[in-house]
C-alpha cells in the first residue's frame, strides 16, 4: 500500500493549520468514527469478535481528549468504532488506576514492548499511551474494565501513526517551539503498568541498555532499539544479537523492560561494570550484583563492604557508587538522622579493589549526588538544612571538612568544639558552587559531566545537575582558582514532569533523567518517571561561561554578541550576597549589595565581554543579569543570568 500523504497548507496559527490539514487529509481516507459508548455495571463477556451483550447498558458520551471521572455505576465501557474499510487510527488511553483492556477481543497493540506487553492491563498512566490500532471494515470494539472510579482519558485520533508523524514534523518546522523547548526537547519514556519506577540510580551498559534501580529495591533493564543501534559497532553479528546470543545485548531488539534483580534495601545509586554486572549502594552496604549464566536475571549478590553500618532513621542513606581511574568505588553517607550502630555518617569514602574501606572527607549532610569527572575529580551535591545555608556542590579532597559537624565524631584529628560555628568555619572547605536557593534549585541530586563531544550542544565538558524539588536541570561551568574549584551555575531546562533524582548521558548524546518525589512532592506532580532531554542541533544564545579575572569577570557567550549593546555597562546588572553558616536550618540571603560595572569590553571574536568591577570580594555569590542583549544576528537570549561563587581571587 502506498504511503499516505498529508493535504498540507500552512495557515496563520499552529492550531488552525492542524485542524484544516486534518480535515482535508481525512477526505482521502475511508471514513472511521466512534459509533457509541456503552457503560455496563459489570465486566462484559466478550464474543469472539469483541462485541458483547449490551442489554441493560447505558449509552453515554465522553469528551474527546479529556480526563473524565465516570459515574460509579459504570464498571466497564464498551466502545464501538465503525470503519468503511480497513485503516489505522490511534487511540490514546490513560487511567490513574489499572484498567483491563481488550480490542476486538485481543491485545492492544503498543510501542511499549513486544506484542501483547499491555495485552491485559494499563494503569497509573498520567500521560496517555498511544495505541495504533487497525480497524477492520465494519464494527470494532474496545472493552475497558475499571478496578475503581478514577479519572480516565480517551482520545480518538483519526490520522493514524504515519500521518500523525508527518503532520507533527510539518507543524514543528512551520511553528517552531519557543523558549527552552525550541532547543532542548523533553520526551517522556512510557513505563509499563505495575512498575513504580522511583529512580534511585541508573547507568548505561555498553550495548545502550539502561540499568535502573528503584527505591523499592528493584533493578530494571530498559532496552531501546534506537540506543542499541547506536552502540552496534561494525562487525557485530546482528543475527546473534536479534537472537539474544550475545552477552551484552537483550534477547529482544526493541523497547523492552526486563526485571534484573529484586530485594534490595533502598538503593540510591548504580554503576554498570562488565556485561551482566552492576554495583549498587544500599542502606547498609556496597554490593556487586551479577548475572552469571546470561539469562538476564541476577543470581550473584556479593557484599563488597559493610563498614558504613546502618541507621534506623528514615533520613539515613548511602549514595553512590562512582569509580575512579584506579578502580576504587566511591560513595557518601548521609550525615543526618544518625541512629543505630553505624559509623562515618556524613563522610565520603572509597573502597579499593582489594576491599579496603577508606573514609576520605567529612561534613556532608544529605549528599544525594556523586560525580567522578573524566579527570578524576569527585564532586558531591548536598542539600540545604542544618549547617547548610543553601544547597552546594562540594569538591572532595582527602581530609576535607565540608561543614556539617555531626561527622566529626569519627575524625580522630578534631579536638575542638563541634557546636561553635566560628571554630568550624576555620577548618571548613568552602563549596565549589553555592546554588541560590529556590532560583537555582532546592533539592540537589545527581550531577553529570557532558562527555558527548558536542552531541548535546555547545556545553561539552560542563556539568549538569538534577534538582528534585523544582524539577529542573541546571548547568555548572567550573574553573580552578589558586588550586581550588569554583565557578558559575546557570539555568538550563525546566518543565520536567517530576522530581529529577538521577541523570545519565545516553550513547546518542541525549540526557536521561530518572525521577521520584520519594513522598516529599515536587513541582512537577508525578511520583516517578523517566524522561530524556534531546538537543535539536540549533545553538541557543546563552552565557557559556563566567570566569574570574583580576578585576572582574569574563562572560563568554555561545554566539557572537551585538557589540554595541554588550559594551554598554548599563545593560549589565550585578549584585553579591552570602548565606549564613550556622546550626539553624538554612539561611536567607545576607547583605545583598549592588555592584557597579565600571566598563564592558567586547572581545575580538565578539563572543566574550570583560566586565570590570571596582573590587572583588571573597565569600560572596555574584549574581549577574544582562538586559537588551542579543546575538549579532539578532537572536534573543534564552536565559539572561548566571551565579558565580567567589571563594578565591588568586589566579590559576
Question: Are the beta carbons of 260 and 212 closer than 8 angstroms?
Answer: no
Distance (Å, rounded) from C-alpha 269 to C-alpha 514? 11
CB atoms within 10 A of CB 102: 20
Name the band, by pLDDT with cuts 50, 70 and 90, for residue 248.
very low
Interval 469-516: pLDDT, tens: 889 999 999 999 999 999 999 999 999 999 999 999 999 999 999 999
For residue 258, give every residue at least 6 positions away whose Cβ sits within 8 Å of its Cβ, in sequence order, or none. Answer: 220, 221, 223, 250, 296
Interval 70-96: pLDDT, tens: 887 888 999 999 999 999 999 988 876
Question: Are the beta carbons of 435 and 474 closer than 8 angstroms?
Answer: yes
Interval 92-149: pLDDT, tens: 888 766 678 899 998 877 654 444 444 455 544 445 777 889 999 999 999 999 877 7
Name the band, by pLDDT with cuts 50, 70 and 90, for residue 520.
low
pLDDT in the model for residue 254: 47
Q: What is the mean pLDDT of residues 375-379?
A: 98
Name the band, by pLDDT with cuts 50, 70 and 90, for residue 5.
confident
pLDDT in the model for residue 94: 80
CB atoms within 10 A of CB 27: 8
What is the Cβ-side half-sphere exposure of residue 128, based on CA atoms within 13 angstroms? Answer: 20
Residue 422 predicted with pLDDT over 50: yes
CB atoms within 10 A of CB 281: 33
pLDDT in the model for residue 234: 53
Query: Can you list the domains of the chain with their CATH numbers?
Result: 31-157 (2.60.120), 179-197+438-538 (no CATH), 543-646 (2.60.40.1220)
Average confidence score pLDDT of the chain: 90
Comparing CA positions, the residue from 408, 410, 428 lying closest to residue 418 is 408
Distance (Å, rounded) from C-alpha 267 to C-alpha 283? 7
Tell me the whole-structure pTM to 2 decimals.
0.76
Distance (Å, rounded) from C-alpha 286 to C-alpha 263? 14
pLDDT in the model for residue 101: 87
Which grid cell sits at 251?
A: 534477547
Name the band, by pLDDT with cuts 50, 70 and 90, for residue 400.
very high
List, edge to edge, every strand of the sheet that includes 463-467.
Answer: 444-449, 463-467, 472-481, 484-493, 641-646, 620-626, 572-579, 589-595
DSSP per-residue codes, 427-447? HBPPPSEEPPTBTTBSSEEEE
Q: What is the mean pLDDT of residues 220-228?
A: 84
For residue 333, give every residue at least 6 positions away whose Cβ sits within 8 Å of its Cβ, in sequence order, or none. Answer: 308, 316, 317, 318, 319, 342, 344, 345, 346, 347, 348, 349, 364, 367
Distance (Å, rounded) from C-alpha 446 to C-alpha 467? 8
Amino acid at each position: 500500500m502506498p504511503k499516505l500523504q498529508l493535504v498540507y497548507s500552512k495557515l496563520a496559527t499552529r492550531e488552525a493549520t492542524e485542524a484544516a490539514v486534518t480535515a482535508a487529509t481525512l477526505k482521502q481516507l475511508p471514513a472511521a468514527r466512534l459509533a457509541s459508548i456503552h457503560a455496563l455495571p459489570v465486566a462484559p463477556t466478550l464474543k469472539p469478535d469483541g462485541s458483547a451483550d449490551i442489554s441493560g447498558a447505558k449509552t453515554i458520551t465522553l469528551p474527546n481528549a479529556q480526563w473524565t471521572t465516570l459515574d460509579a455505576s459504570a464498571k466497564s465501557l464498551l466502545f464501538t468504532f465503525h470503519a468503511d474499510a480497513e485503516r489505522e487510527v490511534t487511540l490514546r488511553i490513560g487511567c490513574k488506576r489499572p484498567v483491563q483492556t481488550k480490542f476486538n477481543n485481543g491485545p492492544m497493540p503498543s510501542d511499549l514492548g513486544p506484542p501483547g506487553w499491555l495485552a491485559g492491563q494499563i494503569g497509573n498512566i498520567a500521560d496517555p499511551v498511544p495505541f495504533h490500532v487497525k480497524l477492520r471494515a465494519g464494527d470494532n470494539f474496545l472493552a475497558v474494565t475499571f478496578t475503581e472510579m478514577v479519572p480516565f482519558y480517551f482520545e480518538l485520533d483519526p490520522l493514524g501513526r504515519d500521518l500523525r508523524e508527518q503532520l507533527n514534523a510539518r507543524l514543528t518546522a512551520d511553528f517552531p517551539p519557543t523558549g527552552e523547548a525550541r532547543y532542548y526537547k523533553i520526551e517522556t519514556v512510557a513505563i509499563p503498568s505495575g512498575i513504580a519506577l522511583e529512580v534511585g540510580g541508573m547507568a548505561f551498559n555498553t550495548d545502550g541498555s539502561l540499568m535502573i534501580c528503584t527505591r523499592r529495591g528493584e533493578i530494571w533493564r530498559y532496552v531501546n532499539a534506537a540506543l542499541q543501534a547506536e552502540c552496534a559497532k561494525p562487525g557485530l553479528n546482528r543475527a546473534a544479537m536479534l537472537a539474544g546470543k550475545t552477552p551484552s545485548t537483550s534477547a529482544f531488539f526493541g523497547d523492552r523492560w526486563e526485571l534484573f534483580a529484586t530485594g534490595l534495601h533502598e538503593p540510591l545509586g548504580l554503576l554498570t561494570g562488565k556485561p551482566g554486572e552492576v554495583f549498587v549502594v544500599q542502606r547498609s552496604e556496597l554490593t556487586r550484583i551479577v548475572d552469571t549464566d546470561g539469562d538476564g536475571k541476577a543470581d550473584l549478590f556479593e557484599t563488597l563492604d559493610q563498614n558504613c553500618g546502618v541507621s534506623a532513621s528514615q533520613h539515613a542513606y548511602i549514595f553512590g557508587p562512582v569509580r575512579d581511574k584506579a578502580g576504587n568505588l566511591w560513595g557518601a553517607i548521609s550525615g543526618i538522622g544518625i541512629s543505630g550502630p553505624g559509623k562515618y555518617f556524613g563522610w565520603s569514602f572509597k573502597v579499593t579493589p582489594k576491599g579496603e574501606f577508606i573514609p576520605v572527607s567529612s561534613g556532608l549532610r544529605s549528599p544525594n549526588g556523586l560525580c567522578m569527572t573524566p579527570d578524576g575529580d569527585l564532586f558531591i551535591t548536598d542539600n540545604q538544612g542544618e549547617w547548610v545555608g543553601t544547597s552546594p556542590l562540594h569538591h572532595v579532597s582527602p581530609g576535607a571538612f565540608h561543614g556539617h559537624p555531626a561527622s566529626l565524631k569519627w575524625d580522630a584529628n578534631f579536638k575542638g568544639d563541634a557546636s561553635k560555628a566560628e571554630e568550624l568555619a576555620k577548618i571548613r572547605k568552602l563549596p565549589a558552587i553555592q546554588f541560590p536557593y529556590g532560583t537555582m534549585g532546592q533539592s540537589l541530586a545527581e550531577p553529570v559531566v557532558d562527555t558527548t563531544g558536542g552531541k548535546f550542544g555547545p556545553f561539552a565538558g560542563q556539568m549538569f545537575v538534577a534538582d528534585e524539588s523544582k524539577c529542573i536541570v541546571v548547568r555548572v561551568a567550573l574553573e580552578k582558582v589558586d588550586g581550588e574549584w569554583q565557578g558559575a551555575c546557570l539555568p538550563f531546562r525546566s518543565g520536567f514532569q517530576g522530581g529529577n533524582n538521577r541523570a545519565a548521558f545516553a550513547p546518542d548524546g541525549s540526557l536521561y533523567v530518572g525521577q521520584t518525589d520519594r513522598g516529599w512532592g515536587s513541582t512537577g506532580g508525578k511520583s516517578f518517571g523517566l524522561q530524556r532531554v534531546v538537543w535539536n542541533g540549533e545553538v541557543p544564545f546563552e552565557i557559556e561561561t563566567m570566569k574570574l579575572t583580576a578585576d572582574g569577570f569574563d562572560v563568554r557567550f555561545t554566539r557572537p554578541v551585538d557589540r554595541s549593546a554588550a559594551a554598554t555597562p548599563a545593560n549589565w546588572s550585578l549584585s553579591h550576597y552570602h548565606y549564613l553558616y550556622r546550626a539553624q536550618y538554612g539561611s536567607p540571603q545576607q547583605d545583598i549589595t549592588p555592584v557597579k560595572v565600571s566598563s564592558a569590553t567586547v572581545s575580538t571574536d565578539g563572543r566574550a565581554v570583560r566586565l570590570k568591577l571596582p573590587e572583588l570580594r571573597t565569600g560572596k555569590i555574584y549574581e549577574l543579569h544582562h538586559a537588551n542583549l542579543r546575538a549579532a544576528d539578532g537572536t534573543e537570549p534564552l536565559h539572561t543570568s548566571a551565579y558565580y561563587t567567589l571563594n578565591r581571587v588568586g589566579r590559576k
